[in-house]
Amino acid sequence: MSIQVSPANLEFSKPVSSAAQARATYLTKLLDLAQSTVTETSELQALRDHAALRVQEQTFPSTRDEEWRFTDLSDLLAVELAAAERSAVTPDAIARFVLPDTARLVFVNGFYAPELSDLGALPARLTVGNLSSASDQQLQTYLGQQSGAEEVFTALNTAGLSDAGFVFAAKNLVVDRPIHLLFVSTASQPVLIQPRCLVVAEPNSSLTVIEDHISLGESVYFTNSVAEIWLADNAQITHTRIQRDSQSAFHIGKTAVSQARSSRYIGTAVSFGARLSRHNLNIYQTGEQTETVLNGLTVLKGEQVGDTHSSIALSKPYGTSRQVHKCIIDDRAHGIFNGKVFVPKAAQLTDAGQLNRTLLLSPKARVDTKPQLEIVADNVKCTHGATVGQLETDELFYLQSRGIDASSARKLLVYAFAYEILSQIPLESLRQTLTSQL
C-alpha cells in the first residue's frame, strides 16, 4: 500500500524568534530568582510548586498580546535582576511616610520588619501581622485562592512566596483605626521585590486598609506585588493603594477582590512613581447585592508609562458598581486605561457605571483609553465613557484676571481635576501628603 503525502498534510513547527526566546529566558530567570528567596519547606510548598508550574506554562507578555498591546516591557527585559535581600532600615528613614493614628505593618524589600511596625492597641479579634499570625485553616482557605491566580506575574509572586502581610477581621468586628501596610524598597542594585498581602473581612465586619509602596532611593528595581482581599456577607473594606516608587523602577501590581452577598468594597488607587507601572484590578462578585466603588488617579511626567487594567465581573443579580479613573499626563509620558465590566445573563438588575477622564498637559503627552462593557443580561443599567482634554484657556484667563499668576492658576486647575479622587482617601494626613506631591 502506498501513502501519498501532500504539502497540506505536513505540519511544520514555526521557528521561535530571537525576541520570543529572549522573553522565555527572562521569565525563567525571574522564576529562579523568585524561588531562590524561599529558604524553608512548609505547608506553602505545594502552593508554590503549583504556581511555578503555571509560570512555566506561560510566556513573558509582549505587545502582541491583546492585554499588553499598549504596554511594552522591553526596557524591563534589558535589566539584569538579582534576588532581593533583607536590609536594615532605621525608623528615621521612614518617618516621613508614617501615618498618624494608624496601625503600621512594615515590609522592607518584601521581608517583614517587626522593629519598624506598630501594632499596639488593636481590637482583640483583629489579627494584623505576617503569615505566622495566620492559622493553617486561614491560609488554606484564602491564600492564593483568588480567581486569576494563574496570571503569569501573580503566579510568579506565589512561586516565591515566603511571607506576606496578613489582616483578618473576625465576624461582626468594626475596626475604626486604619491599618497601614507599608512596603519599603531600599534597593541599591537591580533586584526583584515581591510584596504580598492578604486581607479578610468576615461577615458583618468593617475595616480600612492603606497599601503603600514607597522607595528610599532612586535605583532600578522590579516590584511585583499581589494583594488578595476577601469580603464575606455584609462586610465592608475601604482600601487605599498608593504607588510612589523610584522614578527608575518597574512596578506590576495585582489587586484581586472577592465580594460575597451584600458586601461593600471602596477602593482608591493613586499612582505617582515608577518608570513603568501597571495595576491589574480584578473584582469578583460571588453573591447578590454587592456594592463596588473604584476611584483611580494616575499622575505621569517625563517618559513614564502608567497602565491601569481593571476587570469587574458582576455575575449575580442586584450588583452595583461605580468606577472613575483619572489620568494627569505631562511631558512625553504615556497613560493607558483598559476597564472591563462583565454582566452575564444571570446578573439581572445590575447597575454599573464607568468613566475615564484624562488631562493632557503637554502636546507630546499620550493616552490610550478603552472602557468596555460586555452585557448579556437584558434588564440592567450600564454606562461607560471616556474624555480626553487639556487645560481650558478661558479658565486660566479667568484665574489670572483675579490676580493669580499663570503657574499658580495651572496648578490650581490640575488640583481641582484630581480632587474628586483625592477627596475619597479616608485619612486626612495622607490626603495632604499626596496633594503636596501632586
Residue 187 in any domain: the answer is yes
**Residue 428 burial (10 A CB sphere; 0-12, 13-18, 19+):** exposed
Residue 316 in any domain: the answer is no
Q: What is the DSSP string of 379-400?
A: S-EEEEEEEEE---HHHHHHHH
For 294-330, how does the pLDDT look when each residue is reduced to its tens digit (9 = 90+)? 999 999 999 999 999 999 999 999 999 999 999 999 9
Residue 351 in any domain: the answer is no
CA 106, CA 117: separation in Å to the nearest integer? 5
Q: Are residues 76 and 201 in the same domain?
A: yes
Give yes or no for residue 1 having a pLDDT over 70.
no
Q: Residue 8: its pLDDT value, please? A: 46
CA 25, CA 7: separation in Å to the nearest integer? 33
Q: Residue 69: its pLDDT value, please? A: 93
CA 203, CA 184: separation in Å to the nearest integer? 32
Q: Are residues 125 and 273 in the same domain?
A: yes
Alpha carbon distances (Å) from 438 to 14, 384, 421, 430: 49, 27, 12, 12
Residue 363 in any domain: the answer is no
CA 185, CA 191: separation in Å to the nearest integer? 10
Residue 340 in any domain: the answer is no
6 phi and psi, to 5 degrees?
Answer: -100, 160
Residue 173 in any domain: the answer is yes
Q: Which residues on neighbouring strands pair with residue 372, listed in sequence order?
A: 340
For the chain, what's the residue count? 438
The mean pLDDT value for 67-88 works out to 93
Q: Residue 15: its pLDDT value, please? A: 59
Q: Residue 41: its pLDDT value, please? A: 64
**Inter-residue contact 256 to 239 (CB < 8 Å):** no
The total of structural domains in the chain comes to: 2
Residue 298 in any domain: the answer is no
Q: Are residues 401 and 278 in the same domain?
A: no
Scan for cell 506576606, then name that residue: 164
Q: Residue 6: its pLDDT value, please? A: 45
Q: Which residues on neighbouring strands pair with residue 82, listed in sequence order?
A: 191
- Among 272, 287, 302, the domain-final residue is 287
Q: Which domain holds residue 195?
A: 20-287
For 261-276, how does the pLDDT look when each residue is reduced to its tens digit (9 = 90+)? 999 999 999 999 899 9
- Among 256, 271, 287, the domain-final residue is 287
What radius of gyration do the chain's Cα atoms show? 23
Strand runs labelled E in 58-159: 82-83, 103-108, 111-112, 126-130
Q: Are residues 401 and 280 in the same domain?
A: no
- Among 252, 287, 322, the domain-final residue is 287
Residue 413 in any domain: the answer is yes
Q: Residue 4: its pLDDT value, please? A: 47
CA 184, CA 1: separation in Å to the nearest integer? 72
